[in-house]
Amino acid sequence: MPTATATAGSSLLTPADHLLVMIDHQSQMSFATKSIDAIMLRNNAALVSNAARIFGVATILTTVAEKSFSGPIYDEIKREFPGHDMIDRTTMNCWEDENVITAVNASGKGRIVLAGLWTSVCIVGPALSAIDQGFEVYVIADACGDVSDEAHERAMERMVQAGARPMTSLQYMLELQRDWARHETYDAVTHAAMAFGGAYGLGLIYAKTILGADAHEG
């Protein structure tokens, strides 16, 4: 009979145990994305970016053919990482770019969290490559998108079958917080949720405005 303890499971993410890689959240890639509404995609990318900044998560930002073809990364991402190096590539699979791999190795992290466009190309590529090289991989599914629902769903299935762990943008941020008694990040997390957390954010706005309540008061 196992004994329960008040400790987190080892597969749960913490701010210090992983590397976030945000891939090709760019205008040209977004035009053909049909599996998720562009506004929702930008919103979710903003939520992930806010979470990474709030918790000081090691992060790689990478684009493909930024100046010649795909355009700049979303402002919602860029403004959370002022002065952050942007790695531009020619490879569809960022894991085949030496500059990206140098940054991955410099991070010293054995867990990789991926988000970007398109799921079936620019996310499947690094996910399967990283898993093959012994990394644990998580994919933020709703901060990814593809040219059709079918393309996105089959890509997610393929990565999960290979061992990747799927999650969502809001789940990512709340998994890093995990305890409302962590006062040092409480305000930033709730403000990010209010701005980008959809109906959950509306609930927080209501509770704070009408009831004057905070989650850590429970």
- pLDDT single digits (tens) 49-69: 999 999 999 999 999 988 878
Over residues 5-37, the pLDDT tens digits come to 999 999 999 999 999 999 999 999 999 999 999
User: How many domains does the chain fold into?
Assistant: 2
Residues 120 and 189 in one domain: no
What is the per-residue pLDDT for 69?
82
- Cα-Cα-Cα-Cα dihedral of 59, 115, 40, 47, to 10°? -30
Domain membership flag for residue 10: no
How confident is the model at residue 206, as a pLDDT?
Answer: 87
Helix 198-206 vs helix 183-196: angle between axes, to the nearest 10 degrees?
120
What digits encode the pLDDT tens for the residues 77-94?
999 999 999 999 999 999
115 and 200 together in one domain: no
Distance in angstroms between the alpha carbons of the first and the last residue of the chain: 32
132 and 202 fall within a common domain: no
Regarding whether 57 and 165 lie in a shared domain, the answer is yes
Q: Is the pLDDT of residue 155 over 60?
A: yes
To the question of pTM greater than 0.85 for the whole model, the response is: yes
CATH of the domain at 43: 3.40.50.850
Q: What residue has token string 């599996």?
A: 35
- Please say if the pLDDT value at position 215 is more than 70: no
Q: pLDDT tens digits for 122-135?
A: 999 999 999 999 99
- Active site positions, annotated: 122
